[in-house]
Amino acid sequence: MDSLTQIVLGAAVGEAVLGRKVGNKAMLYGAIAGTIPDLDVFASFFTDNVTALYMHRGFTHSIVFSVLFAPIFSWIVTRYENYKNFKNWTWLFFLAFVTHPILDAHTTWGTQLFWPFDLRLAFKNIFVVDPFYTVPFLVFLILAMRQKRTTTKRRFYNKMGLIVSTSYLALTLLLKWAAYTKFESALATQNIAYLDLDTRPSALNTILWSANVQTEDAYLLGNYSFFDSQPITFESYPKNHDLLSNLTEDESVKRMIAITEGWYTINKKNDTLYFNDLRFGLLSLKPKSDSFVFKYRLDVDASGKVIFTEEPKDNNDGKKLLSELWQRLKGN
């Protein structure tokens, strides 16, 4: 999830653990702890794109990280804070650390919660930024912050923020199931034989859902809104995996295929190959668009190693996409 959401979650967890003991400091430390797992983004400054992608939401988003680093941060804090209970501070940091990847596991990218096992949890039931999750949570947190640390109102507001946000998260799982069944029904009605079906919510909402459908030689992309009145339509994108040829033996290519879990297409333009990550969809809802959110140019250096370079995005693309999503959300 986005940084603001993780700050709010961490602050609420910190308040639940130590709010009565240390007041707003519990929220402060919880908020800080809630952002620490995302420091793995700095890996991109020290390594290549593919390795940085592989490391993102890896070790720092694991139970192992939470167990190892919670007592370390607890020890640091107890060196200068008046409240010296090492066990309680450890619980604050552990819960603030571990709830971060648990929430991220519900997004499309997912997390390696059980690192070092190579298993990425990605339930894909909530977009990385969802105001319906974050805003009510933030409002309750601010209301709690304004109360004295020993009042029942403070605990009530914080508890309500946790309950409302968690309930919405549970609701998104039901919405995902409902959308999934709609896509299944559409594929059956249109007599489309497929190997796999993957669904995810579109940006900023859980009303409009997208689907990636794997067939033998292509991927089908479709959208469904709960306000739709017309049948779901699918756009076909050839896999073109054969274009990689012997490049599939390159370690970076192998790793990128593993990262995308096989949801990718290859296209060729002016003798240059492009690797398209299908998990995050397109930057346009227009038919036959090839403007993927994550698109990488493939180059081979002098040593024969494949270099992945992310294609730059136009700032206007995001604005156009949000406008198109809003129109599509209202139904076809």
* Of the residues 139, 173, 207, the one at which a domain ends: 173
Q: Is residue 179 part of a domain?
A: no
Q: Are residues 147 and 235 located together in one domain of the fold?
A: no
Q: Tell me, yes or no, whether 99 and 225 share the same domain.
A: no
For the whole model, what pTM was predicted?
Answer: 0.94
Of 16-25, 289-298, 308-317, 321-330, the poorest mean pLDDT is in 308-317
The band of 101, judged by pLDDT with boundaries at 50, 70 and 90, is very high
- CB-CB contact of 29 with 21 (8 Å): no
Same domain, 84 and 155: yes
Burial code (b: 16+ CB inside 10 Å, e: under 16) for 47-64 equals ebebbbbbbbbbebbbbe
Residue with tokens 């990718």: 264
Give the pLDDT confidence score for residue 49 in this predicted structure.
86
Question: Rounded mean pLDDT of the chain?
Answer: 95
The arithmetic mean of pLDDT across residues 120-133, rounded, is 96
What value, to the nearest 5°, has the Cα angle with vertex 60 and ends 121 and 38? 95
Mind giving me the DSSP string for 228-251?
A: --S---EEEEE--GGGGGGGGGSH
Residue 86: C-alpha distances to residues 92, 160, 213 (Å): 10, 28, 50
Residues 138 and 209 in one domain: no
Please check whether residues 98 and 194 belong to one and the same domain: no
Residue 196 belongs to a domain: yes
Do residues 130 and 274 both lie within one domain? Answer: no
Task: Report how far residue 201's alpha carbon sits from residue 209's, in angstroms, rounded to the nearest whole number.
Answer: 4
Q: Please tell me whether residues 20 and 158 are part of one structural domain.
A: yes
Range of the domain at 59: 3-173
Tell me: do 129 and 230 sit in the same domain.
Answer: no
Kindly state whether residues 119 and 258 are assigned to the same domain: no
Residue 52 lies in a domain: yes
Can you tell me the distance from the alpha carbon of 138 to that of 146, in angstroms, rounded to the nearest whole number?
Answer: 13
Task: Give yes or no: residues 154 and 32 share one domain.
Answer: yes
pLDDT of residue 46: 80
Q: Is position 297 within any domain?
A: yes
State yes or no: cis peptide before 116, omega within 30 of 0: yes
Per-residue pLDDT at 257 exceeds 90: yes
Residue 328 lies in a domain: yes
Q: Which of 140, 173, 206 is the last residue of a domain?
A: 173
Residue-wise pLDDT for 271-302, tens only, equals 999 999 999 999 998 888 888 999 999 999 99
Please write the tens of the pLDDT for every residue from 151-172.
999 999 999 999 999 999 999 9
Annotate 318-331 with DSSP letters as a single string.
Answer: HHHHHHHHHHHHT-
Q: How many domains does the chain have?
A: 2
Residue 1 has pLDDT above 80, yes or no: yes
Same domain, 119 and 25: yes
Does residue 159 sit in the same domain as residue 236?
A: no
In a domain, 178, yes or no: no
The phi, psi pair for 16, rounded to 5°, reads: -65, -35
More confident residue, 154 or 48: 154
45: pLDDT strictly greater than 80: no
Task: Give a yes or no: residue 130 inside a domain.
Answer: yes
What pLDDT is recorded for position 315? 77
Judge whether 183 lies within some domain.
no
Q: Of 141, 173, 205, which residue sits at a domain end?
A: 173
